[in-house]
Amino acid sequence: MRLIDNTFRERLASGSLTTCLCWTLIREDGFTLGVTDHDRAVLRDGIIHQPGAALEAGRFETAGGLRPGRAAAAGALSADAITDADLAAGLWNGARVHVYRTDWEAPQHYALVWTGYLSEVVQTESGFEAELISLKSDLERPVGRTYSRRCDAKLGDARCGLTGVEGATCDKRFSTCCETFNNAANFQGFPHMPGPDAVLAGPAAIGNDGGKR
């Protein structure tokens, strides 16, 4: 359910077609860009949203439950701030996106239509295409470490601690860490965790010692 103030609701109910879409894009480095599908600039919430069809909105899908909703965006590079170099450098990947249905005659009246992230930004001959992923996608991101027998560090990174291993490979096993790299102290796995047989085994029929190991 989208919250719309009473004044905006009345303007919408009047049948007056004075709304447009305003896109506010915020890159991870803090750079903010406003674009609109209106033919004139729209000042919304202190941000000037420039015209020029920099983005063309597709349909917005809102998923039920915890499944992330998705949308699609495509555009020509008519916004000076969206440059080929920045796209090639991946500066727009993961940018936060807010899409508002805005009354361009009274921009203080608007309703949030979509919020999410730019994902899979791909350059095309005419500009770029991007998929938008809703904020529910944050729930799919792994948090913390995986409890596994194998190491989850990358060979040669800060957690691994090894240097001068360019061209070497590691299968993430504790035996390899010990015997090949002599790096057991920095092993980032849990080599002594019990296997599924131990976890699923029931109490012994004979020789039960009361749970002592």
> What pLDDT, in 10s, does the model give residues 166-199?
889 999 999 999 999 999 999 999 998 877 776 6
Same domain, 168 and 193: yes
207 within some domain: no
13 within some domain: yes
Number of domains in the chain: 2
Same domain, 136 and 147: no
Q: How confident is the model at residue 106 (pLDDT cuts 50, 70, 90)?
A: confident
Q: Which of 123, 140, 157 marks a domain boundary? A: 140
Same domain, 12 and 89: yes
Using the predicted structure, report yes or no on whether residue 102 has a pLDDT greater than 70: yes
Question: How much is the pTM?
Answer: 0.54
> 98-102, 104-108, 208-212: which range is least confident on average?
208-212
133 within some domain: yes
37 within some domain: yes
pLDDT of residue 72: 47
Residue range 161-173, pLDDT digits in tens: 998 888 899 999 9
Comparing 115 with 196, the larger pLDDT belongs to 115
172 contacts 151 by C-beta, under 8 angstroms: yes
75 within some domain: yes
12 contacts 20 by C-beta, under 8 angstroms: no
Same domain, 127 and 90: yes
Q: Which of 103, 118, 140 marks a domain boundary? A: 140
Using the predicted structure, report yes or no on whether residue 18 has a pLDDT greater than 50: yes
Domain that includes residue 96, residue range? 6-140
112 within some domain: yes
Q: Which of 99, 120, 140 marks a domain boundary? A: 140
Sheet holding 32-36, edge to edge: 42-44, 47-50, 32-36, 19-26, 96-103, 110-123, 127-134, 70-76, 56-61
Q: pLDDT over 70 for what percent of the chain?
A: 66
Same domain, 24 and 96: yes
Same domain, 15 and 119: yes
